[in-house]
Amino acid sequence: MSPTSAVTPEAPWPRAEPAALTPGPEQEQLRETLRALLAKYSGIEQVRAAAESAAGYSEPLWRRLVDEMSVTSLAVPEEYGGVGYGTAELAVVLEECGRALVCEPVISSAVLGVQALLPAAAATADLFTEVLDGRSLATVGTLDPATDALRARSDSTGWRVEGTVTHLPGGDTADLVVASADTPQGRRLFALRPGPGAVRSPRRVLDPTRRQADLTVRDCPAVALTTPESTPAAIARLHDLATLATACENTGIVDHLLGLTVDYVRTRHQFGRPIGSFQAVKHRLADLLVELERARSASRYAAALYAESPDSARLAVAVAGAVCTDAAVLAASEAVQLHGGVGFTWEHPVHSYFRRALGNEAAHGDSRTHRARIADLIGV
């Protein structure tokens, strides 16, 4: 669903920098602590092994991320059991997760799942607490009628849902699914817990570290999260949050790939000198550095603005989506080429990052999609 078609007077482009734009000591400490944790438990071989496991991620690392780093509760208000920070702090977490290529359900459950349930936390207290504690994994569908082909009806026991949801991140293991469904009164968002009769059909995807599955349910109990009137705004906000989360992760990917490539060209010698000393290589790396700074500025600004006013951040989020997607795809392509022959082997780490960059682009839109959204928002 497209966000608001134009920047309205009620949600103008801000005239001053958001207060959360400049990293403070707490954000820097969060980054350092999380980077050290992921360096120890999320190296590339550990990531690949976890992705091939039955769960598709490392359950011990997930518990550490929840218990030690509070990834699920970081941006949840204190009155709901959270830490009380916002998306600026989430951006730090997502950048570092992108750097380490984590396959744990940080975006699908800790960010989108929690934030989808938060507005209805009172009505979904047990479900919300389970996801907040990391005991249950949540995932969010695309919220598009073309992929969330669900129908809902209410009876004396509550809502019942049937149909199929496709392209669910982590859909083969998720305990809770947030999806949109048609009702006699209009489309609404629902939280449903697939029972034993649910059919999960894993999809073949480009990025094996981020699985997808189709889910078919029949007569499945569900909890309504929105009314028909509030559903469009809720869907637009979740789309913005998904774009922002992916932009932050892509920024971390670019950061890591640039560092990895610079280290390689410093040590790889050709014609008696490091290949990084050749002007052509220097220019390509300089271009990547520019892309990294653009991506970092765009994603951090959007995250800081979203923390203050999600509706006012819509344009900044679309810009971050376009800039960071281009940067990640370019960085992955350049990393493969600048690593030479070894960069073209599937065993090299850059290929896993290459797959993640392309997977993110396919799942959340390429730069043309985000630029079309920018055009809509500014009324072009």
- Gyration radius from the chain CA atoms: 21
Residues 6 or more apart whose CB falls under 8 angstroms from that of 249 comprise 94, 95, 97, 98, 107, 360
Q: Within 10 Å of residue 23's Cβ, how many Cβ atoms?
A: 16
Residue type, 208: P
Which of 140, 134, 139, 119 has the alpha carbon at shortest distance from 69? 134
Write down the pLDDT at residue 3.
42
Write down the pLDDT at residue 219.
93
- The single-letter DSSP state of residue 6 is B
C-alpha separations of 182 from 1, 200, 227, 234, 374 in Å? 15, 21, 11, 15, 29
> Can you give the pTM of this predicted structure?
0.92
Residues 6 or more apart whose CB falls under 8 angstroms from that of 281 comprise 265, 275, 338
Residues 6 or more apart whose CB falls under 8 angstroms from that of 118 comprise 76, 80, 128
Phi, psi of 180 (to 5 degrees): -100, 150
Query: Alpha-carbon distance 191 to 219, whole Å?
Result: 14
Q: Within 10 Å of residue 16's Cβ, how many Cβ atoms?
A: 6
Structure-token match 């892509």, residue found: 250
Write down the pLDDT at residue 342.
86
Size (the chain), residues = 380
Low-confidence ranges of the chain (pLDDT < 70): 1-16, 19-20
Query: Alpha-carbon distance 279 to 246, whole Å?
Result: 33
Write down the pLDDT at residue 49.
97
The string of DSSP codes covering 57-125 is S-HHHHHHHHHTT-TTTTTS-GGGTS----HHHHHHHHHHHHHHT--SSIIIIIIIIHHHHGGGTTTTH
The string of DSSP codes covering 200-217 is EEEPP-S-TTS-EEEEEE
Q: Within 10 Å of residue 355's Cβ, how many Cβ atoms?
A: 19
